[in-house]
Chain A
């Protein structure tokens, strides 16, 4: 036997078992306390004809681990009969894949999408009603918050099942809170953008921690759409009116106040010598996570990296401040929803399996919420473990979380605002009303083409 063959044999004997050993070691790390309300009888139908559920989702961030844990637990338990093929992609690519798969009807069996997208797909007859599938596994409206359940009901049918709410929030560094301010004030219903800006100035004056490369706010100019929509709702406005879905309404006085308030954050701060990042250049989350910023604005989905797994910064999370004294403090929040697209591989047998998988996932929503999500099931909202999560306070203020409008033009119209608000914040545009009017005109052009 040549040395090459001996070498190959040695490699086979030592390396391959080594790989399997690593794999089993990893599997032992997965939590084994998940709820499994599915019995062997439920999966009996799949013993002779096992199925694989192709599961597409946009969960690639820090919360991906929570989903992977759930999928692994399921596959370890019932994977021989019903296997979940978890296939995540970054959000843009995820939707590109969905759209392109329509051409040959090869969409996944189960997909996680955003609630704001449901009206678009539902209108194009690409979504299948899930009413029967859900009722077979005992999932019903009475288990959910009414508003979140109804958000995905069209006529008599449920077209998507919400798994969470992901509101827009702001994070604060507890160590950098200036004298005279408390966390209670930050969470109070009276806390305004102006107060936030005052804090940034005071933090700069008093905090010895703030140096040249530390910021009052690590502001992401590329994430302005959701904060703008939130502030718009606070003033009583909304992006589009239900009676005329192609006509944007965000360029009224409420929109003006919202845009002006957002724009003032970088400008006021700069004027007072507090640097605002990022001018699309720096990673705002990294800067905050390194303890170099008093505030940052982002979605609750960043909780994992900013709050739970961040030893450097004692981080708090709160609703966006009020746009002005006359407004009501509330925030805009989209949600992840389970959806089943029409596809060439659908069958009753597979639908039965999809129902069981959804039941397992929602029964174990707590694991999912740990990744920075707000509960939507009544049982979870009152769960003690959930209540201990730093953002569980949102569940007590759900009346102040505004969900996407159930309109096919909503996401398109909202998306258009991002570009203009970013330009206002960056200083490329200076006339707020003119910018909003142009933005509304662009949004109308797009909406009319849908």
Chain B
């Protein structure tokens, strides 16, 4: 009897220890989970909830079901015009800026890797990365000054009279240029480190087999960069769809540069806030980004 009790106690203690042990990892995760729940999960869910209300930041939100979504998707309404015009600009930005922000750093990384002198390589690497540490507002300020019609360096240096903010295409050229200028360094570092991790013996073997530089790039370097490329493309597309700071701060002709996120901001905090409508636009944009990411991921996985 006593033996039984002792063994039962031992089993209980062992179970308790096991339970505690199983629980321990979650304790380590808890601080992160708490912050994640407060700052990510709750705002995310609250944002979705708000999109089904007529919340105006002044009065308590009142449930209006799909009213906001219907208004956005009703052709010809103010909300529909703003959302789809914003979406078009966002799409133009994404399809032009993202390939550039991925492939220009890739080419730069390959060129840097080709530099044999380590000091020289580090020098160029630092120069190219330096622009990435600047904030969006600083970058826009630099480009605003460079491209100013009257006092800008560009017009005065080349003795021309180009108004980068007076023409839709030129405005986007400027916005994409400044994005590329400031964003090239981050991806370049990722690609450079990935290229560096490819065993040199593979390049030597390819060379012995008669592969030239172009062949080595397409048959060896590029396949080895599938994961960093997937990462850069997906984060680039997500960033592209969420673009806000660059066009918002740079400006341009009215109605020619507004993105979805700018419309969301305007609806949320404009002269008469419509946070419910802004949230509905955000949710729709989120769904579009999700769909784009899934398609990209599947395509990259297949190839």
Chain A 278-293 interface 0/1 with B at a Cβ cutoff of 8 Å (1 = within): 1111100011000000
B255 is an interface residue with CB less than 8 A from chain A: yes
- The reply to whether A449 and B277 form a contact with Cβ atoms under 8 Å apart is yes
Given contacts A99-B269, A419-B254, A419-B255, contact A124 B59 (CB under 8 A): yes
Residues of B bordering A, CB below 8 Å: 54, 56-59, 71, 77-79, 81, 148-151, 163-166, 251-256, 269-274, 277
Chain A 405-435 interface 0/1 with B at a Cβ cutoff of 8 Å (1 = within): 0000001100100110011001010000000
Given contacts A99-B57, A423-B254, A442-B78, contact A281 B149 (CB under 8 A): yes
Residues of B within 8 A of A446 (CB): 78, 272, 274
Residues of A within 8 A of B150 (CB): 213, 277, 282, 286-287
Given contacts A281-B148, A415-B271, contact A102 B58 (CB under 8 A): yes
A442 to B266, CA, bound (A): 15
- The reply to whether B271 and A279 form a contact with Cβ atoms under 8 Å apart is no
A100 is an interface residue with CB less than 8 A from chain B: yes
Given contacts A281-B149, A419-B255, contact A126 B78 (CB under 8 A): no
- The reply to whether A100 and B274 form a contact with Cβ atoms under 8 Å apart is no
- The reply to whether B253 and A279 form a contact with Cβ atoms under 8 Å apart is yes
Please name 16 pairs of A and B residues whose Cβ atoms are closer than 8 Å in the assembled complex, sorted by A.
A92-B269, A95-B271, A99-B273, A100-B57, A117-B271, A277-B149, A277-B150, A282-B148, A287-B150, A411-B272, A426-B166, A428-B254, A428-B255, A441-B78, A442-B78, A449-B54
- The reply to whether B272 and A279 form a contact with Cβ atoms under 8 Å apart is no
A423 to B58, CA, bound (A): 32
Residues of B within 8 A of A95 (CB): 269, 271
Given contacts A419-B255, A446-B272, contact A280 B166 (CB under 8 A): yes
Residues of B within 8 A of A282 (CB): 148-150, 163
- The reply to whether B272 and A428 form a contact with Cβ atoms under 8 Å apart is no
B46, chain A: closest CB distance, angstroms = 11
A445 is an interface residue with CB less than 8 A from chain B: yes
B148, chain A: closest CB distance, angstroms = 7
- The reply to whether A280 and B254 form a contact with Cβ atoms under 8 Å apart is yes
A412 to B164, CA, bound (A): 30
Residues of B within 8 A of A99 (CB): 57-58, 269, 273
- The reply to whether A281 and B254 form a contact with Cβ atoms under 8 Å apart is no
Residues of A within 8 A of B269 (CB): 92, 95-96, 99-100
- The reply to whether B165 and A281 form a contact with Cβ atoms under 8 Å apart is yes
B130, chain A: closest CB distance, angstroms = 28
A84 is an interface residue with CB less than 8 A from chain B: no
Given contacts A121-B58, A281-B165, A445-B78, contact A450 B272 (CB under 8 A): yes
- The reply to whether A124 and B254 form a contact with Cβ atoms under 8 Å apart is no
